[in-house]
Structure 1
Amino acid sequence: MKIKILLGLAGISAAFLMSGCGEPRAYGKVDNTPYPTQECRQQLSRGTEIDHSQKIDKIVVYKKKRKLYAYRNGKKIYEFRISLGKNGDKGNKIQAGDYRTPEGSYCIVRKKCDPRLYRSLMISYPNAADKARAKAKGVKTGGYITIHGQPKWNADGHADRYTLAHDWTEGCMAVSNKAMTALWRAVQNGVKIDIHA
């Protein structure tokens, strides 16, 4: 019985670590209640989450500035503050578990109704260059890098000032839930994203 429990806990821990992003643990009481996702999933299945009048065609991230910009036909539509991986200042992502945010050219490949971190946009990391770099070093690239919103304990944005002033993810780019809602309505799969140092 103890072995089954330990294996179950190990599996949960592994799934959490493989997810690509964690939660900030240095502020207030953590609410482990998940976000409801049924309505979100229904919108995705019908394609009704997109506001076609607000669609964007490119995202550009500058890690050093902690900024994400969204464009339509070359015109900046949105500018959002972001948090990065815990080692966001230590260069490009090299391998799984290094807590760095990747740099390079990618695209949005999936929208996810995330029960832990208010909605997420998965990027196409690792690309060919990332895979080649990791192979040369004999390491695994990792994956599941996203742009996502806040953990449930900050669903109302009361701690945005804190969470957006610190790097706390496992490599993802975190925005406020308000920003995530805007991106969610504006982004379709295939939108290009360039991430710069």
Structure 2
Amino acid sequence: MKIKLSMLGLLVVLFIVGCGETPYYGKVDNTPYATKECLKELASGAEIDHKNKIDKIVVYKKKRVLYAYKDGKVVETFRISLGANGGADAGNKVKAGDYRTPEGTYSIVRKKCDARLYRSLMISYPSEADKARARKRGLNPGGYITIHGQPKWNADGRGDEYTLSRDWTEGCMAVPNFAMDKLWAAVEKGVEIEIHA
């Protein structure tokens, strides 16, 4: 019974830290989640490793995997977690709050220093097609879908096996923090991302 309650508590924590944008209200943050240095890095473009830039990201939801490409070749492969509502099995994102990960072709529109989920790469969801599909049904397509790192409680990666064995985000794609570091240094605005079922 205690094990079931512990797992339930952990799931509640994971849901609370989803992937929606929430400001950080802490007083002092000297962890890797501190945004001050991160923002300085972004302002100067110092985060980019020009020798190891990638030009495309491809995600396969059923496999729970993200591939990073350079010049048509896979250079990195990372495990991911998806939206809490069944991941690939639930289908494409339809509306705000459905906890599904979208499918389609998008691009990276900006980088965000995140005090809750390490760092994130925002994608261009919803596309015009996503908006039209939602409008036809009288729905809000939602937005703020990112590739992001882990919540603070898993900053050191000790909980990666747990977080990567389930889908827990609000529709985003979550990678381990070491993977986020690699993507952060390799991805510039405009990089294409394909998300497949």
Q: How much has 1:20 moved relative to structure 2?
A: 6.3
Unaligned 5+ residue runs, structure 2?
A: 1-16, 23-28
3-state SS in 1 of match to 2:169:
coil
Q: How much has 1:65 moved relative to structure 2?
A: 0.2
Task: Specify the alignment match of 2:177 in structure 1.
Answer: 177
Is the 2:59–2:65 Cα contact (8 Å) retained in structure 1? yes
Task: Specify the alignment match of 2:124 in structure 1.
Answer: 124
3-state SS in 1 of match to 2:132:
helix
3-state SS in 2 of match to 1:96:
coil
Structure 2 residue aligned with 1:55, among 53, 56, 67? 53
Task: Specify the alignment match of 2:192 in structure 1.
Answer: 192
Counterpart amino acid of residue 171 in structure 1: G
**Within 5 Å, which residues of 2 pair with 1:101-180?**
101-180=101-180
Counterpart amino acid of residue 189 in structure 2: N
Quote the Cα distance in structure 2 between the aligned partners of 1:80 and 1:17: 19
Percent identity for Structure 1 against Structure 2: 68
Q: How much has 1:104 moved relative to structure 2?
A: 0.2
Quote the Cα distance in structure 1 between the aligned partners of 2:170 and 2:18: 8
Counterpart amino acid of residue 166 in structure 2: H
How many residues were matched structurally? 171
Unaligned 5+ residue runs, structure 1?
A: 1-15, 22-32
Task: Specify the alignment match of 1:80 in structure 2.
Answer: 78
Quote the Cα distance in structure 1 between the aligned partners of 2:175 and 2:141: 24
Quote the Cα distance in structure 2 between the aligned partners of 1:193 and 1:43: 23
Q: How much has 1:161 moved relative to structure 2?
A: 0.3
Report the TM-score, using the length of structure 2 for normalisation.
0.84
Is the 1:20–1:172 Cα contact (8 Å) retained in structure 2? no
- Residues 82-117 of structure 1: CA distance to partner in whole angstroms, max 9, x if unpaired? 000001120000000000000000000000000000
Q: How much has 1:17 moved relative to structure 2?
A: 8.1
Q: How much has 1:166 moved relative to structure 2?
A: 0.5
Q: How much has 1:128 moved relative to structure 2?
A: 1.1
Q: How much has 1:18 moved relative to structure 2?
A: 8.4
3-state SS in 2 of match to 1:50:
coil
Q: How much has 1:19 moved relative to structure 2?
A: 1.8
Counterpart amino acid of residue 123 in structure 1: I
